[in-house]
Amino acid sequence: MNKAAFYDLDGTLLSCNLVTMHAYYARNDRSLIKSIYQFTKVLLSVPLLFGLDLYSRSLFNVFSFRAYRGMHRDRLIGLADDLFEVTLKPSIFPQAQVLINTTRDLGYRNVLVTGTLDFTIRPIALHFGIDEVICNRLEFKNHIATGHVLPPLLAENEKARSIREYSKEKGIDLAQSCAFSDSSADVPMLTAVGYPVATNPTRRLRRVALHKGWPILELRETSSIFPPFLRPAKAL
Amino acid sequence: MKSRTTWQFNPVRGEYQAGDPVPAQGTGEISAIDAFANKTMLLLGGTGFVGKVLLALALDRFPELKHLVVQVRRKKNMSGEQRFYSEVLQSPPLRPIVERAGGESVLRKKLQIVEGDLDQPLCGIPADQIEQLKGKVDIVVNLAGVVDFDPPVNESFETNVYGTQHLIELVKLLDVKLVHVSTSYVAGKKDGRIPENVPIESYFPLRDVPDERQFSVNQELKWYEEFIEEIRNTRGTNPRPARERLREGGMNRAQYWGWTNTYTYTKSIGEQLIANTPGLRYAIVRPAIVESSLRFPFAGWNEGFTTSAPLVLMGGEGVKGWPVRKDGPLEIIPVDLVASGILIVTAAVLCGKNKHVYHLASADQNPIMLPRLVAFLGMNSRYKHKHKKSGNRLANLWKAYVETQVITVESLQVRRARMHRGLDVIHAALTLGKTILGPDKISPYLKSLRDTRRQIRQQEITLDKFLPFMFHNSFVFETRNIREAAHMLTNEDLKSLQWDPEAIDWADYWVNIHTKGIEKWIRPVFTTRKA
């Protein structure tokens, strides 16, 4: 039976979120005036999104994707590399790559399970060397984003359901698999696998982890102690 | 789309897709595998951009082929065989294929190298080797040609016209079938959809214009002989270099008949020579602008200079105004699809179920409009100049944050005139400064101004060469024949030979495959060439 390592992205491997990514596209619109207009819109929406995120991650996602409405798909794809260089690469946690390499060396199939959009994931996945991705995709009509996400919207329970389906299809034993996430929204996904790890946990997730006895991992520090199940190769 | 299964990245569509794509289905009228089984193919021009990919595809996907005879021209102190094994087989697209096949020694059994040159009778293949090839070769595939748009007319004629004559002689002597690769742009200055069933004989683009003009190959050959003779005789008296006059003569003659340049003019004559030969069993394959590979041997392979590469490089350097048609597509086609297409046609010819002309192009099914490409050029420039450490900071900011624009040829001329006037003023100011402050302080600036001017002039020349394909004309080449041929294959064949331009996601192709391929494979060669 195969085993897999499921990774959340934002907050787990790097400190970025949907809003900063969208702010990048707003800043880099076709002209200076358009950029200023779009960026102001993003700034104004921040308090609303912040409140929504506290209430429900799914609703937060729906609203932050709506901001893409009217954007051209060519632009989203064409600027993805620059977005990665400018916004994402500097925010990768020091130990993220080490962790990914460790799980790969231990025979896990690395899979990114994230609410982020496919075109922004591409350079990240290439950078980390992860081949498989489960992520959200925008709906386009005639190359223009409608502001909707192609169903299913990947968040909370949907993440758990999608990794179950993935495992069934690829013949993966979830009891032998591990999952990494920072947010309490991903508790269903963490519960689905045999080895959940609360990675850079938020206060809420830390409470859950302590309660359930899940290991806690800090990737933000330059050296971190990996949980025991990630160390057998060295012990042998 | 409503799937919850994993989304594997599909580099062709540029998306994460659920599950495996549905394989193409064919009727099985032609079996490429059976057609190639125990057959021997003679390949001319196997060292070029398309040639190498075709060679790789044939070696990788059709172990059924008995022999592959490759004609290679010798270089100064390197025999054809040495050149093939040290240069061609070691090139990036073929190296992985050689490894997969189990090393060079395995391939040596399948390959035979003959030395030759299209410019010479019987393609320059030595007589003893011709005897040996008789009865052995089943089909000749010719990819050789001079692809420069406006070379001195003799260079183009020797290979594309007389070379084709030599090719026909060879094919007749060996008594085999022929697949000849030409270009879609033999259509000349036309607009709209270009069908594949236009008669080849006596074709010229302006034949619909009511005047007395009649085109014939013999007449062109006569014109050429006389023109060369005239250049030769006036070499001593005419002050202009002969090379320039040859270049101009070819372009003028081509344009007189309605072709865009010497290349398409001579290629059309080559086609007509083939079509005029009675009893020849042939197919002519006409690719559009051949670009970076989509997936085989790996995504992004490119070494073509007469493609859109110069434009992509210029875009990367920060050119902002692009004269293109707002409603026109750019007829590009990835090199691996071209190689696939040629092999599909070859199989059809071997089975005797071929048409005479096959366009290999994309816009018929899946057009990529020029304004979108202009926007991509701008985004690439933004990415490059934002992270550039060298050069003038202000210039970098300008190149990064000002978007590319679609303009007309008229406004291009105005912009150019304004730019040159501006540079003239700077030049005058610097010259004045030189007399006041002395040459030590000013000379470096004058030198850099000269360099800038040279660069701008070079860019202008390149852009002008491409204007017929971007602004003056707008073509869509019909591709019914190749679709029909691909549809006749078996399902097994379609796993090895794909003809699916409709599946290309142009945004992903242009940004992640093509532009990166050019930056990786072409830019280094281009910069060393310039230096």
Asked whether the predicted pLDDT for residue A156 surpasses 90, the reply is no
Q: How many CB atoms sit inside 10 A of residue B252's CB?
A: 12
H helix or E strand, kind and range, residue A217: strand A216-217
- Give yes or no: residues B400 and B462 share one domain: yes
Whole-number Å distance between alpha carbons of B199 and B204: 10
Domains of chain A: 3-235 (3.40.50.1000)
Residue that is written with structure tokens 């697949």 in the block = B179
Whole-number Å distance between alpha carbons of B471 and B65: 44
Residues of chain B positioned with their CB less than 8 A from the CB of A88: none
Residue B276 within a domain: yes
Q: How many CB pairs under 8 A join A and B?
A: 81
pLDDT at B511: 92
B252, B264 Cβ separation under 8 angstroms: no
pLDDT at A235: 41
pTM score over 0.80: yes
Q: Note whether A75 contacts B375, CB cutoff 8 Å.
A: yes
Chain B contact present for A33, CB below 8 A: no
The string of pLDDT tens digits covering residues B269-278 is 999 999 999 9
| Residue numbers of the domain that contains B452 | 312-328+369-473+506-531
Residue A8 distance to chain B (closest CA, Å):
15
B285, B342 Cβ separation under 8 angstroms: yes
Q: Note whether B512 contacts A132, CB cutoff 8 Å.
A: no
Count of alpha carbons within 13 angstroms of residue B379, beta-carbon side: 28
- Give yes or no: residues B350 and B421 share one domain: no
- Give yes or no: residues B139 and B191 share one domain: yes
B324, B38 Cβ separation under 8 angstroms: no
Residue B83 within a domain: yes
- Give yes or no: residues B138 and B267 share one domain: yes
Q: How far is CA A192 from CA A183, B158, B285, in A?
A: 15, 71, 56
DSSP secondary structure letter of residue A137: -
Residues of chain A positioned with their CB less than 8 A from the CB of B4: 152, 158, 161-162, 165
Whole-number Å distance between alpha carbons of A88 and A68: 18
Residue B18 within a domain: no
Side chain identity, residue B489: L
- Give yes or no: residues B99 and B60 share one domain: yes
Residue B270 within a domain: yes
A23, A42 Cβ separation under 8 angstroms: yes
Helices (H) then strands (E): counts for chain B? 22, 15
pLDDT at B418: 93
Whole-number Å distance between alpha carbons of A64 and A48: 10
B326, B370 Cβ separation under 8 angstroms: yes
| A231 band by pLDDT with thresholds 50, 70 and 90 | confident
Q: Which residues of chain A from 68 to 97 reach within 8 Å of chain B, CB to CB? A: 72-75, 77-82, 85-86
- Give the residue among B273, B251, B32 at the shortest CA–CA distance from B156: B251
- Give yes or no: residues B427 and B486 share one domain: no
pLDDT at A34: 86
Asked whether the predicted pLDDT for residue A196 surpasses 90, the reply is yes
pLDDT at A16: 80
A99 - beta bridge partners?
A: none
Residue B69 within a domain: yes
B41, B138 Cβ separation under 8 angstroms: yes
Q: How many CB atoms sit inside 10 A of residue B207's CB?
A: 16
> Environment class of residue B11 by beta-carbon count within 10 Å: exposed (0-12), middle (13-18) or buried (19+)?
middle
pLDDT at B531: 59
| A232 band by pLDDT with thresholds 50, 70 and 90 | low
Q: How many CB atoms sit inside 10 A of residue A175's CB?
A: 12
Whole-number Å distance between alpha carbons of B87 and B132: 26
The string of pLDDT tens digits covering residues A68-119 is 888 899 999 999 999 999 889 999 998 899 999 999 998 899 999 988 888 8
Nearest Cβ partner of A73 from B401, B507, B512?
B507
DSSP secondary structure letter of residue B20: P
Whole-number Å distance between alpha carbons of B283 and B357: 6
Number of residues that this document lists for chain A: 236
> Tokens in use for A72?
């051209």
B352, B177 Cβ separation under 8 angstroms: no
DSSP secondary structure letter of residue A213: T
- Give yes or no: residues B486 and B384 share one domain: no
Whole-number Å distance between alpha carbons of A65 and A146: 9
B338, B50 Cβ separation under 8 angstroms: yes
> Tokens in use for B315?
């875009």
> Domain of B213: which CATH number?
3.40.50.720
CA geometry: angle at B179 spanning B178 and B185, to 5°? 135
Whole-number Å distance between alpha carbons of B259 and B189: 6
Residue B154 within a domain: yes
The string of pLDDT tens digits covering residues B104-128 is 888 998 999 999 888 888 888 988 9
- Give yes or no: residues B460 and B488 share one domain: no
- Give yes or no: residues B468 and B482 share one domain: no
Residue B307 within a domain: no
- Give yes or no: residues B436 and B484 share one domain: no
- Give yes or no: residues B131 and B250 share one domain: yes
Asked whether the predicted pLDDT for residue A236 surpasses 60, the reply is no
Q: Which residues of chain A from 129 to 188 reach within 8 Å of chain B, CB to CB? A: 131-135, 137, 143, 150-152, 158, 161-162, 165-166, 169-170
pLDDT at B10: 47
Residue B321 distance to chain A (closest CA, Å):
15
- Tell how far CA B336 is from the center of its chain: 12
Per-residue pLDDT of chain B (531 residues; tens, 9 = 90+): 223 333 444 444 444 454 445 667 888 888 888 999 999 999 999 999 999 999 999 999 998 899 999 999 988 888 889 999 999 999 999 999 999 988 888 899 899 999 988 888 888 898 899 999 998 999 999 999 998 888 999 999 999 999 999 999 999 999 999 999 999 999 999 888 999 999 899 999 998 888 888 999 999 999 999 999 999 998 888 888 889 999 999 999 999 999 999 999 999 999 999 999 999 999 999 999 999 999 989 999 999 777 788 888 888 888 888 999 888 899 999 999 999 999 999 999 999 999 999 999 999 988 999 999 999 999 999 888 888 888 788 888 888 888 888 889 999 999 999 999 999 999 999 989 888 888 888 888 888 899 989 988 988 988 888 888 888 888 899 999 999 999 999 999 998 898 999 888 899 999 999 999 999 998 888 777 665
Q: Note whether B15 contacts A137, CB cutoff 8 Å.
A: yes
Residue B421 within a domain: yes
- Give yes or no: residues B337 and B324 share one domain: no
Which phi and psi angles does B57 have, rounded to 5°? -65, -45
Overall number of domains in chain B: 2
Q: Note whether A85 contacts B1, CB cutoff 8 Å.
A: no
| A46 band by pLDDT with thresholds 50, 70 and 90 | confident
pLDDT at B334: 95
Mutation pick from A72, A79, A81 vs chain B, by most beta carbons of B within 10 Å, is A81
Residue in chain B lying closest to A132 (CA): B8
